[in-house]
Structure 1
């Protein structure tokens, strides 16, 4: 998973006391320093760039980014092939449907994994660690698709994993709002643990809508009857 390499690069920045504007080792050198493959380093750098922690300058290298000053939507990769709003519009219907299919299977070890990832996300948010938060966020969502029992849903998730992950990560550019992401995951988990499928799906839908709003996007969906009465 690129997030593990991204955490190693994050540690490298801290250990070397690198400041905004300082240059990191080349991606080729990082493969040796971190004992990672070139694709893993490339994906990790992309993740750090999406989170606003580094900036990549073509033909120059990778540099530590200055904190703040950019909105989440600014971090959306231009090569993604889809507009960020399109991805959120897709996710807000696709992911709750997958959760509804997965719901009967989210018990035992699967439920424990959801709890572990939600707890780790909350700790990462409290510590201001966006890389670890992004990793735990992705793992939480992955559990849902692993247990939905529909190969097509799982294949679509895998095929679109990069754009879907990036849409989860870009709101985390604003560290002060990562705690909101953590609380939203806790709401989803609480509904699953309570055995309320409708509430869990509504909480997931609300989480995706809120993530879009953190990117200054209104994804314009009709509220469900359940939400309209709240």
Structure 2
């Protein structure tokens, strides 16, 4: 709608209730879509006033962090940098050729989205990439923890994409993980995933120790 109608920063958008009808979508789906667009700096939500096209110029990714359940962005990255490589190590021996193909597909699609400047598709492909890792980790406790923290974890993946020019870096980091997995090197793959999370934090001006 924003692209097709040439809407500008400050222009009003339909309310979430109106979007449910217009898109013939469920309320949770609309809320998720609105949350993604807000996190990517494409729209802003103003209390009772409604939805508006955002102007993200001059704002940092961390400015869009909504402090889920009191967690700040640094805490989420500190958690992810230990948690996700462990999940990948568990998944390593379970990854089938189809799973590796899916990971490469998502990483390459992310690169294409970065070149096109499409933050929404980039966010979708980024999420799908990380989903595959947990799909194959085979540990129900890991899955339960991720499910409990899914909103905070996904938003921490998306918020660096406010700087669309840096999304290509994310894609290259994903490809490095896939390269190591395809080479059969678990240690290098886990190290590449840690490097990716560390770099994502840096894109948000956060230096992890």
Q: Secondary structure at the match of 1:55?
A: strand
TM superposition outliers: structure 1 runs of 4+ over 2 Å: 78-81
**8 Å contact from structure 1 (residues 124, 130) kept in 2:** yes
Deviations, residues 78-134 of structure 1 (Å, cap 9, x unaligned) = 344201000000000000000000001122211111111111101001111111101
Provide the residue aligned with 1:145 in structure 2. Answer: 134
Question: Given the alignment of the two structures, is residue 132 of structure 1 paired with residue 136 of structure 2, yes or no?
Answer: no
Q: State the secondary structure of the residue aligned to 1:105.
A: coil
Shift of 1:42: 1.3
1:207-228 CA distances to partner (integer Å, 9 max, x unpaired)?
00000011111110xxxxxxxx
Structure 1 CA distance for aligned equivalents of residues 17 and 142 of structure 2: 36
In structure 1, which of residues 77, 91, 104 is the aligned counterpart of residue 93 of structure 2? Answer: 104
RMSD: 0.9
Note the 1:49-64 alignment, pairs <5 A: 49-64=38-53
- Give, in whole Å, the separation in 2 of the partners of 1:122 and 1:107: 23
Match of 1:15 among 4, 10, 30: 4
Normalised to the residue count of structure 2, the TM-score between the two structures is 0.98
Q: Which residue of 2 aligns with 1:44?
A: 33
Aligned position for 1:183: 172
CA contact (8 A) 1:68 1:174 kept: no
User: Which residue number in structure 1 is paired with residue 156 of structure 2?
Assistant: 167
Q: Is the 8 A contact 1:20 1:65 kept in 2?
A: yes
Contact in 1 for aligned 2:67/2:73 (Cα 8 Å): no
The gaps in structure 2 that reach 5 residues or longer are: none
1:76 paired with 2:81, answer no
